[in-house]
Amino acid sequence: EAGVAQSPRYKIIEKRQSVAFWCNPISGHATLYWYQQILGQGPKLLIQFQNNGVVDDSQLPKDRFSAERLKGVDSTLKIQPAKLEDSAVYLCASSSTTGSGSSYNEQFFGPGTRLTVL
């Protein structure tokens, strides 16, 4: 079974430029997550999709960040314009669905995209 795919693996941009990251989840996984991991910290959830609908985007800086999952499969995360503090690893994860009751569905992570903003 293929894992979560992300591209690019690395990106270097100047501040105020735009950047986009792509994620292809595991086939059949309805739930997709984007996390931001700043150096020295644990990942922080930015946005969660269930199929093509947003479940939680409470921690997404909506003035500059946007994300979409139009066909309920792959997803794109965009930053426009980028700031120095956006330098981080952006992780995508997917699960078969959100858990309910005592059910749990493991999140599988991709390799991440390391963004450097100069």
Partner 1 sequence: AQTVTQSQPEMSVQEAETVTLSCTYDTSESDYYLFWYKQPPSRQMILVIRQEAYKQQNATENRFSVNFQKAAKSFSLKISDSQLGDAAMYFCAYAYYNNNDMRFGAGTRLTVKP
For partner 1 (CB under 8 A), the number of binding residues is 30
Q: How far apart are CA 36 and CA 49, in angstroms?
A: 15
Q: How far apart are CA 109 and CA 30, in angstroms?
A: 14
Q: Whose Cβ is closer to partner 1: residue 45's or residue 81's?
A: 45
Q: How far apart are CA 34 and CA 57, in angstroms?
A: 10
Q: Where are the alpha helices (DSSP H) in the chain?
A: none
61 binds partner 1 (CB under 8 A): no
Q: Whose Cβ is closer to partner 1: residue 81's or residue 89's?
A: 89
Q: What are phi and psi of 86, to 5 degrees?
A: -80, -5
CB of 16 to partner 1, least distance (A): 26
- Binding site residues, partner 1, CB under 8 A: 31, 33, 40-45, 48, 55-56, 58, 89, 91, 93, 95, 98-102, 104-107, 109-112, 114
